[in-house]
C-alpha cells in the first residue's frame, strides 16, 4: 500500500519521520528521493531523534556516510549526492550497512538504484507549488515488511490528525 502525506512545516516533517522511526527495526533500509531542499535531511533528523540520537544530524555530503551509535539502534546515514561511481560504494562496504544491524537512511537513493536491496522503503518527496513550506511525502513500500510499516504509519498519522490529512494532497505529482 502506498501512502501520501502532506507536511506543511519542518515540525510536521519531523513528527512524521519520528513516527516512522518508532516503527523501524535493525536491518531496515529507507531510501529518500527528492530534489535539493525537499527535506531529506530534515526527515532523517526526525528518525534520528526518535532513536534517541542527540548529535546534530547534517547531510554527510562529503563523507558519504555518517554512523550514529548512541541511539536504540545504530543509524547509518548515507548521502550519495557527490558519489563519483559505484566503486566508491564498494570501497565504503555498503553491504555491511544495507544488510547490517542498524537502520540505514539513504539520501539521493536514485543514484545507487542498482545497489539497493529489493526489500526497502522508498520515500519520494516533492515540493508543492501552492505553498513554499508544503511537501508531499510518498511512501512506497517494497516488500511485505515495509507494507506493514506503512500500514501502521498510516494508522498513527491519521489517528493523530483525525481527518486533517484527507483530501489534502498535492495535485502535482499524481
Ligand atoms: N515541510 C517541510 N519539511 C521539510 N523541510 C522544510 C519544510 N518546509 C520548509 N522546509 C525547509 O526546506 C529545507 C529542507 O532542507 P533539507 O532537509 O536539508 O533538504 P534535502 O536534504 O532534501 O536537501 C530546510 O531549509 C527546511 O527548513
Ligand atoms: Mg540533505
State the maximum Cα–Cα separation within the chain, in Å, rounded to a whole number: 47
Q: Is the pLDDT of residue 67 over 90?
A: yes
Q: Using one digit for the tens of pLDDT, what is the confidence trace for 8-43?
A: 999 999 999 999 999 999 999 999 999 999 999 999
Question: How far apart are the CA of 30 and the centre of ligand 2, in A?
Answer: 14
Average pLDDT over residues 129-147: 96
Tell me the whole-structure pTM to 2 decimals: 0.93
Closest ligand to residue 126's CA:
1
Instruction: Indicate whether 164 pLDDT > 60.
Output: no
Distance 162 CA to ligand 2 centre (A): 30
133 CA to centre of ligand 2 in angstroms: 16
Provide DSSP, 5-54.
EEE-SHHHHHHHHHHHHTT--TT-EEEEE--TTSSHHHHHHHHHHHHT--
The pLDDT-based confidence of 130 (bands split at 50, 70, 90) is: confident
> Taking residues 158-170, what's their average pLDDT?
59
Q: Nearest C-alpha to atom 1 of ligand 1 is from which residue?
A: 9
What CATH homologous superfamily does 3-161 map to? P-loop containing nucleotide triphosphate hydrolases (3.40.50.300)
| Residue boundaries of the structural domains of the chain | 3-161
Q: Which three cell numbers stand for residue 136?
A: 508531499
pLDDT, tens digit (0-9, with 9 covering 90-100), for 72-98:
999 999 999 999 888 899 999 999 999
Edge-to-edge strand ranges of the sheet holding 103-107 = 3-7, 135-142, 120-127, 29-33, 103-107, 75-79, 65-68
Amino acid at each position: 500500500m502506498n501512502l501520501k502525506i502532506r507536511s506543511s512545516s519542518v515540525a510536521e516533517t519531523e513528527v512524521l519521520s519520528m513516527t516512522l522511526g518508532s516503527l523501524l527495526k535493525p536491518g531496515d533500509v529507507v531510501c529518500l528521493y527528492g530534489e535539493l531542499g525537499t527535506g531529506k535531511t530534515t526527515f532523517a533528523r526526525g528518525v534520528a531523534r526518535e532513536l534517541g540520537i542527540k548529535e546534530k544530524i547534517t547531510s554527510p555530503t562529503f563523507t558519504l556516510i555518517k554512523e550514529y551509535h548512541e541511539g536504540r539502534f545504530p543509524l547509518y546515514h548515507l548521502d550519495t549526492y557527490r558519489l563519483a561511481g559505484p566503486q566508491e560504494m564498494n570501497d565504503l562496504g555498503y553491504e555491511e550497512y544495507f544488510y547490517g544491524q542498524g537502520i540505514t537512511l539513504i539520501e539521493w537513493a536514485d543514484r545507487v538504484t542498482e545497489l539497493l536491496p529489493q526489500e526497502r522503503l522508498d520515500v519520494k518527496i516533492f515540493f508543492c507549488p501552492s505553498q513554499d513550506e508544503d511537501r508531499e511525502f510518498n511512501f512506497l513500500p517494497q516488500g511485505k515488511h515495509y507494507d506493514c510499516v506503512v500500514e501502521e504509519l498510516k494508522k498513527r498519522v491519521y489517528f493523530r490528525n483525525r481527518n486533517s490529512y484527507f483530501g489534502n494532497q498535492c495535485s502535482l505529482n499524481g
